Amino acid sequence: MVAYCLVNVLRSEFKDSISKLIWVLVILFAPFIGSVIYLSIGQNSKIS
């Protein structure tokens, strides 16, 4: 799940440039919780 989230973050475009860095750091420093938070909240901050 962590690898999927990291790949998803790195391939995606976000509304602001700092969001990608923040999500990568959250997923790396809190792998399980960070991944769950990204999948529930982070998907909404991407550009469609």
Count structural domains, the chain. 1
- Answer yes or no: is pLDDT of 35 > 90: yes
Q: By percentage, how much of the chain surpasses pLDDT 70? A: 98
pLDDT value, residue 44: 82
Q: Domain limits at 31?
A: 2-45
The CB-based long-range contact list for 17-23 (8 Å cut-off, 24+ gap) reads 19/45
pLDDT value, residue 18: 93
- Answer yes or no: is pLDDT of 7 > 80: yes
- Answer yes or no: is pLDDT of 10 > 80: yes
> pLDDT tens, 20-30?
999 999 999 99
Runs of H (alpha helix) within 1-48: 2-11, 17-29, 31-40
Of 38, 44, 45, 46, the closest CA to residue 1 belongs to: 38
Tokens of 29: 């420093």
